[in-house]
Amino acid sequence: MFLEHRDLFAKLALGQAPEVLFITCADSRISPSLLTQTKPGELFIIRNAGNIVPPHGAANGGEGATVEYAVAVLGVKDIIVCGHSDCGAMKAVLKPETLDELPTVRAWLNHAETTRRIVREKFAHLEGVERVNAAIEANVLVQLEHLRTLPAVAVRLAKGDLRLHAWVYSIESGDIRAYDSALGRFESLRDEADEPVRASVAGATA
Q: Can you tell me the distance from the alpha carbon of 158 to that of 149, in angstroms, rounded to the nearest whole number?
A: 12
Give percent above pLDDT 70 in the chain.
Answer: 92
| Among 120, 53, 44, 43, residue whose Cα is nearest residue 81 | 53
Please tell me the predicted confidence (pLDDT) of residue 202.
47
Please tell me the predicted confidence (pLDDT) of residue 7.
85
Q: CATH number for the 17-188 domain, one of 3.30.460.80, 3.40.1050.10, 3.90.550.10, 3.40.50.300?
A: 3.40.1050.10
CB 46 within 8 A of CB 132: no
pLDDT in tens, 103-157: 999 999 999 999 999 999 999 999 999 999 999 999 999 999 999 999 999 999 9
Of 177 and 7, which is predicted with more confidence? 177
The full set of domain ranges for the chain reads 17-188
Residues with Cβ within 8 Å of 178's Cβ and at least 6 positions away in sequence, in order, are 165, 166, 167, 186, 187, 189, 203, 204, 206
